[in-house]
Amino acid sequence: MKRKIRNALISVSDKSDLEKILLILKKNEVNIISSGGTYKKIVSLGFNCTEVSRFTKFKEMLDGRVKTLHPKIHAGILSNRSNKKHQNQMNKNKFKNIDLIIVNFYPFQETVIKNKNKNSLIENIDIGGPTMVRAAAKNFRDVTIITDKNDYGSLINQLNKNKGSTSLSFREYMASKAFGLTAYYDSIISNWFNKELNISFPNTMTIPGKKLAQLRYGENPHQKSSIYLNTVNDKEIGLRKISGKNLSYNNYNDIFSGLEILGSLNKTGTVIIKHANPSGVSMDASPLKSFKNALSCDPVSAFGGIVACNFNINKKIAEEISKTFFEVILAKKFDKEALKILLSKKKLILIDISKFKLTSNNQIKSFDNSFLIQDKNHEIFNYNKLKFVTKLKPSKRELQCAEFAMNVCKFVKSNSIVVTKDFSTIGIGAGQPSRVDSCKIAVEKARTFQPKKMRNSIAASDAFFPFPDGIKKLIKSGVKFIIQPGGSIRDKESILVADKAKVKMVFTGTRHFNH
């Protein structure tokens, strides 16, 4: 069912590319209605236009808050052309049907980014625009609604193809996009209010999402995937890809894991990620040394993983990186000589993270028709609440090293055990149903790749040891300091084992499950 466009209402904050729409409307002898800045723009481009106040014979009021909120506008949009009663009422009131609405909203998001003045933000909450959009989308059988200037080309094609008309399928598709936009717009405003009022878990939760890109595939090649931005600034994510193939779901999953850990490091450091788990993490004053230490923790697992650095990559570091196959390299900057080396690997993805910032305090996991939300786990442990449970007590430096170990541990999939030496991981046991199995994996990896560093090493556990068997395994491997939350009914047995072996142990009282 095609519908001829005779009258159009245009109200846009983004006035770019407007001329090409005006040309096609003029060609098809469409009457144009507009107001405010859009009206002035249309006239300045040399096109005829009727101002809204003249069309409605009602002058806008309340500083422009009431312009298009008028029966003549909304009856023109909402009238059912196939309903004789509707059309009789329209004729009786001398109202015209409005067949095309082109609207985009006040720039609330841009105002939030640029202007912290609350009054200015409130005035940039669009009322008339979303109201017209919803009305037009509801009446898609008769009215065409355009909310995205990227659809101007499709509208032009429709009008050319159908001699000034649009097809029902096109109008219905545009309506679906329109309702998506109004829902997104309202959710952005709703979340802004929640943030202003410190409401973390409102009764009704809306999660806005703006599509950033279609991804190569999902977790597996037969799955489709896209990435969305859930932020007021929905234009970019802060990651600038320099080279390499398009990113996949798994690439982003690993990248996000790497950035999360990287953001928790307070010194120069490197994180190597494989399947969303760290295979090596190291902090060192020397960027090159931090990379080498992170890689040497588990060079086998690192193969095909991603490297995340909070420093600039120079020629020497690039030469070291190029010795191993990685999929993605994240860094603050890449020197020219480093780029020459890394760009020789055509499939390698290089990403500049200099503008990336962690801003959200929420974690969201979805399943079927439900989702879970929680605060991010920012805590490592509270020094004032530590319990020094063994006869031997750790030094200040040992506690600092233990804090690094526990910080890495909280990002490893549970059950997790992390063995470290001098602010570098040397063994990581991840994702095991049994804690003792995680201990075995961490120890075996350390013995395989870093046997000399096992002596006097530090081990962190994300939760308490239900039995002392895991403690015994770590002690036997050379660990001399164990940091764990404590809280098991068998804690005393674990303390006795540690004391007997002259091993230091501290309880934090802070659990770090990561599922």
- Among all residues, which ones are annotated catalytic? 138, 275
CA–chain centroid gap for 448, Å, is 37
Residue 319 token pair: 């030469």
Contacts of 398 (CB under 8 A, 6+ apart): 458, 481, 504
Q: Which of 405, 398, 399, 420 is nearest to 462 (CA)?
A: 405
CA distance 35 to 305: 55
Q: How many CA atoms lie within 13 A of 412 on its CB side?
A: 31
CA distance 399 to 406: 10
Q: How many CA atoms lie within 13 A of 416 on its CB side?
A: 25
Residue 482 token pair: 């164990």
**CA angle (328 as vertex; 324, 331 as ends), nearest 5:** 100
Q: Which amino acid is at 303?
A: F
Please spell the DSSP secondary structure of 177-241, one letter per residue. HHHHHHHHHHHHHHHHHHHHTT-SS-SS-----EEEEE-S-SSSTTS--EEEE-SS--S--S-EE
C-beta separation of 18 from 41 below 8 A: yes
The radius of gyration computed from the CA coordinates of the chain, to the nearest angstrom, equals 30
Reduced to 3 states, what is the DSSP secondary structure of residue 286?
coil
Q: What phi, psi does 257 have (nearest 5°)?
A: -65, -45
Residue 16 token pair: 């770019």
- Tracing tokens 């009446």 back to the chain, one arrives at 139
Q: Which amino acid is at 476?
A: K
- Where does 305-422 show beta strands of DSSP type E? 306-309, 312-313, 328-331, 333-334, 349-352, 362-367, 370-375, 387-388, 417-420
